[in-house]
Amino acid sequence: MVPYIPHTIEAARYRVKHLDYFHMRNLYFMMHEWFIEEGWATRVDYDFGEKFYLHREHAKRGDEIWFWWRLTKGAPGQSGPNPFYEWHLDLDCHVVLLTEVEVVHEGEKFKANYGEPEIKVRAYILVDPKGTWQKKIILKDMYDVFTKRVWKAELQSQRIQLYREAYRLQEAIKTYMKLQLYLPEPEMAKWYPRKDFTDYDVKT
């Protein structure tokens, strides 16, 4: 039997790359907390969706770190999650030239890192993820009509909502890295740790 492959609608795709001083643990923690706060995961580690993690040490050129996250979230509906749509957000992070350093901030020394993190994000929607319509002969014939005409506005609304949510993650990352934002006011900018170590005590 041919495996069922649901229809995919891409909502957003971007990357953030920056070479600077920052704190690797805080960057990881900030993104992890964002997904929990936004309802993509729980605080149970095995339920989080980290599919791959690798830390490779290089004495001369700095360490490398890879981690891949695959998160799923029920799409919002009028009276709870809409089972006809399923939100997905994939995050791939690759850090190079990672070294431990000390920085001085307001006269105090802090442990920190120097390196180049590159974070790639892709957000997409699976339509009819369980094949409720596609696997039934009676409903399969109506699937194209409903998705292209009857539910066209709803599909577009779902894509826009996920697009905005994905770019709120980009905003949180850029706020942490103190990069240029394209939105007028960064959401939750004061809650997340900053790369200048003003929110978390990481002193030696």
pLDDT in tens, the chain (204 residues): 556 667 889 999 999 999 999 999 999 999 999 999 999 999 887 779 999 999 999 988 999 999 999 999 999 877 777 777 899 999 999 999 999 998 877 778 888 899 999 999 999 999 877 766 555 555 555 556 556 655 677 888 999 999 999 999 999 999 998 875 554 444 444 444 445 444 433 332
Task: State the amino acid at position 27 in one-letter form.
Answer: L
**Chain centre distance of CA 181:** 17
Structure tokens at 51: 């599919």
Angle between helical axes of 24-37 and 152-177 (0-180°, round to 10): 150
Give the pTM. 0.79
C-alpha torsion angle, residues 2, 84, 32, 41 (rounded to 10): -90
Dist. CA 86–CA 81, nearest whole Å: 9
Confidence (pLDDT) at 97? 96
List the structure tokens of 181: 């934002």
Do residues 127 and 11 make contact, with C-beta atoms less than 8 angstroms apart? no
